[in-house]
């Protein structure tokens, strides 16, 4: 069993860290919010009072933070992870951040004798709680092999995407496809509504035809056809519109940097931006259909 430091005990990080404790690892947790650290200690973890205490004396340090700026701060600060972790420590960042920051921090880490993986996840809070997350991992073969048994305590599907930054690349490419396809499915159902075609009938036909996709068959944005989709519970998140917008913006930033042509991705980012502006940031991202209906 490993000694693990875990920094960022939020909606995702806390249940992930708790699953590591359940698997028998010794986990020291830190968060800027003392209340969540207290909750983690009550669930069998060890509380750290500062980043350094979670970074030092551990074989592995995992982070689950909101943005690239947070990751930069927590790793590169004078009293941050890179300053306090012992040489040989394996660093795993599970936050969803931009590819450039992931690669830059991993490079600085390598300069200090520390190996770093980017390992963003999909599966949401339910996946974090149930230990069924999908991990998309960027980094060396050796680091991936070392991390695999640890990630297995928190996830079900663990894929080595390639070198440093490719985990983040996989995450934003996947979510750009999802954002675009959710809007496309919503537009299809709205057009059907205006043309007098029943939503269930469109689902029965399209889910077996060439329009079929995950946004339709697993997460249908109209109530009825897929009973588990957020449309059946007033679009309570799930995966919030704000999170989708964050990932679509990351995809657009990356596309601009490398000169990739992504007009649909750009359009999806603009539509989600407007939706979030209506005060629906916390609503499930499939609620975009209500915005399109009213727009």
Point out which residues bind ligand NAD (CB under 6 A). 7-13, 30-33, 36, 64-66, 70, 73-74, 95-96, 121-122, 124-125, 239, 243, 246
Per-residue tokens: 244: 């989708």
Shortest CB 102 distance to ligand NAD, Å:
11
Shortest CB 254 distance to ligand NAD, Å:
15
Q: Between 17 and 192, name the residue whose CB sits nearer to ligand NAD.
A: 17
Cβ pair 19, 131 in contact under 8 A:
yes
Shortest CB 70 distance to ligand NAD, Å:
5
* Separation CA 5–CA 47 (nearest Å): 10
Shortest CB 295 distance to ligand NAD, Å:
26
Q: Is 208 a catalytic residue?
A: no
Three-state DSSP at 210 gives: coil
Per annotation, catalytic residue among 171, 194, 208, 246? 171
Q: Between 33 and 218, name the residue whose CB sits nearer to ligand NAD.
A: 33
Residue least distant from ligand NAD (Cβ): 10
DSSP character string of 144-199: HHHHHHHHTTTEEEEEEEESTTHHHHHHHHHHHHHHHHHHHHHHHHHHHHHTT--H
Place of tokens 């050796």: 142
Q: In the chain, at which residue ranges do the beta strands (DSSP E only) sit?
A: 3-7, 26-30, 46-47, 60-63, 90-93, 115-118, 121-122, 133-138, 155-162
Q: What is the set of active-site residues?
A: 171
């Amino acid at each position: 069993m490993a000694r693990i430091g875990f920094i960022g005990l939020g909606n995702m990080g806390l249940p992930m860290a708790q699953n590591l404790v359940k698997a028998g690892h010794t986990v020291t947790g830190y968060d800027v919010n003392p209340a969540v650290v207290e909750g983690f200690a009550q669930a069998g973890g060890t509380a750290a009072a500062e980043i350094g205490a979670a970074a030092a004396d551990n074989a592995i340090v995992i982070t689950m933070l909101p943005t690239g700026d947070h990751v930069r701060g927590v790793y590169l600060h004078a009293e941050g992870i890179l300053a306090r972790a012992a040489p040989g420590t394996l660093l795993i960042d599970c936050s969803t951040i931009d590819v450039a920051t992931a690669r830059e921090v991993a490079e600085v880490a390598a300069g200090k004798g520390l190996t770093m993986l980017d390992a963003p996840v999909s599966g949401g809070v339910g996946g974090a709680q149930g230990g069924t997350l999908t991990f998309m991992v960027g980094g060396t073969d050796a680091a991936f092999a070392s991390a695999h048994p640890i990630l297995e305590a928190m996830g079900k599907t663990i894929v080595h995407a390639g070198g440093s930054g490719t985990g983040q690349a996989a995450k934003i490419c996947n979510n750009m496809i999802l954002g675009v396809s959710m809007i496309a499915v919503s537009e299809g159902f709205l057009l059907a509504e205006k043309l007098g075609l029943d939503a269930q009938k469109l689902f029965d036909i399209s889910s077996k035809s060439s329009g079929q996709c995950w946004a339709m068959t697993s997460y249908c944005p109209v109530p009825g056809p897929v009973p588990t989709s957020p449309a059946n519970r007033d679009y309570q998140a799930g995966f919030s519109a704000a999170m989708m917008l964050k990932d679509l913006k990351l995809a657009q930033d990356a596309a601009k940097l490398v000169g990739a042509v992504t007009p649909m991705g750009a359009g999806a980012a603009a539509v989600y931006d407007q939706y979030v502006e209506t005060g629906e940031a916390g609503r499930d991202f499939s609620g975009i259909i209500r915005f399109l209906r009213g727009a």
